[in-house]
């Protein structure tokens, strides 16, 4: 997958792309990443990338011209697909994402959907955000990482990219993905590593038993218990969608009654 990040502060996403599993995915050619400094496309001598808003109001907005030039440098065409006068439809390869608090909520399902794309382009907002015409002309997805406001889009883009690229086949083992939180409407079970006793707290006996079926059942109960406690909304939604196997649904019923 090719990922472009359009930003006024390339040093922020650079740290992410140059470290850990992402760095390995880049090295192995699974991810190809390009950081595009929007300021390189500023057209005045002060290299301005923001201005005040029409109609008044606090704060500055990112200018549309440097952004559209930066997008087009990444090969992005307008949504209608055609550079002026070219004639004929050009199918866009890229999916353009603008992280914004007023976007659709991000989720694991959304991450899976984006992980199937060939090329993603992220537009990182600053100040009050970006001119609406950039959204209208180029942006396919406005995505929110949660109901709060951060000061920049770089961190939001990194959150989305991080959730997406690890789902691409070959980045991490598919086994690790199977029992992760949200993979099947349940949160993850508690996990332990060495030492067996830490500050007087012992690893649950069942995990030391070597009894695979007992361990599986214990983990499933823990997942159900935690999901019911901290995310009853997730349980309700998953029950409605019918995503739980019979065994899990029965356990939910039993433990729900215990919570009443």
Binding range to ligand SAM, per CB under 6 A, among 67-75, 143-151, 201-209, 215-223: 143-151
10 binds ligand SAM (CB under 6 A): no
13 binds ligand SAM (CB under 6 A): no
Q: Which of 205, 199, 204, 252 is nearest to 229 (CA)?
A: 252
Residue of 37, 73, 144, 181 interacting with ligand SAM (CB under 6 A): 144
Residue of 75, 83, 105, 146 interacting with ligand SAM (CB under 6 A): 146
DSSP letter for 209, please.
Answer: S
d(CA 47, CA 32): 28
Please say which residue, 25 or 96, places its beta carbon nearer to ligand SAM: 96
Q: What is the DSSP string of 231-242?
A: -HHHHHHHHHHT
- Identify the H or E element spanning 70: helix 64-73
d(CA 101, CA 142): 9
Binding range to ligand SAM, per CB under 6 A, among 35-43, 140-148, 196-204, 224-232: 140-148
Binding range to ligand SAM, per CB under 6 A, among 4-12, 30-38, 45-53, 121-129: 121-129
Question: At a CB cut-off of 8 Å and minimum separation 6, what does 229 contact?
Answer: 259
CB of 107 vs ligand SAM, minimal distance in Å: 13
What are the CA-CA distances from residue 210 to residues 197, 206, 213, 214, 218 (Å)? 18, 8, 9, 9, 13
Label residue 222 exposed, middle or buried (CB < 10 Å: 0-12, 13-18, 19+). middle
d(CA 2, CA 26): 10
Question: At a CB cut-off of 8 Å and minimum separation 6, what does 89 contact?
Answer: 81, 82
Please say which residue, 48 or 150, places its beta carbon nearer to ligand SAM: 150
Question: Do 120 and 97 form a contact (C-beta atoms < 8 A)?
Answer: yes
Q: Which residue's Cβ lies closest to ligand SAM?
A: 125
Residue of 100, 227, 238, 248 interacting with ligand SAM (CB under 6 A): 100
Residue of 148, 212, 240, 258 interacting with ligand SAM (CB under 6 A): 148
d(CA 8, CA 124): 8
Please say which residue, 128 or 179, places its beta carbon nearer to ligand SAM: 128
Build a one-symbol-per-residue string for 27-46: x at contacts with ligand SAM by CB under 6 A, - elsewhere: --------------------
Residue of 23, 53, 72, 101 interacting with ligand SAM (CB under 6 A): 101
Please say which residue, 145 or 251, places its beta carbon nearer to ligand SAM: 145
Number of residues that bind ligand SAM (CB under 6 A): 19
Q: Which residues bind ligand SAM (CB under 6 A)?
A: 99-102, 124-126, 128-129, 144-146, 148-153, 156
């Amino acid at each position: 997958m090719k990922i472009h990040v359009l930003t006024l502060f390339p040093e922020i996403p650079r740290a992410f792309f140059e470290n850990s599993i992402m760095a390995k995915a880049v090295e192995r050619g699974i991810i190809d990443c390009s950081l595009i400094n929007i300021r390189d496309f500023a057209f005045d001598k002060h290299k301005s990338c923001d201005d005040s808003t029409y109609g008044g109001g606090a704060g500055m907005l990112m200018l549309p011209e440097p952004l559209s030039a930066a997008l087009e440098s990444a090969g992005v065409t307008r949504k209608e697909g055609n550079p002026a006068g070219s004639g004929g439809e050009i199918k866009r390869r890229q999916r353009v994402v603008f992280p914004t608090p007023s976007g659709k909520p991000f989720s694991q399902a959304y991450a899976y959907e984006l992980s199937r794309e060939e090329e993603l382009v992220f537009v990182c907002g600053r100040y009050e955000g970006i001119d609406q015409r950039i959204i209208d002309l180029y942006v396919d997805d406005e995505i929110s990482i949660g109901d709060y406001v951060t000061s920049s889009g770089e961190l939001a883009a990194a959150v989305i990219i991080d959730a997406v690229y690890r789902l691409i086949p070959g980045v991490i083992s598919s086994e690790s993905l199977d029992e992760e939180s949200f993979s099947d409407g349940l949160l993850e079970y508690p996990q332990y590593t060495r030492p067996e006793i830490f500050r007087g707290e012992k690893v649950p006996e069942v995990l030391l038993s070597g009894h695979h079926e007992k361990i599986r059942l214990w983990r499933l109960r823990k997942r159900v218990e935690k999901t019911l406690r901290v995310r009853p909304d997730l349980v309700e939604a998953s029950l409605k969608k019918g995503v739980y196997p019979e065994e899990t649904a029965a356990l939910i019923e039993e433990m729900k009654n215990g919570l009443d």
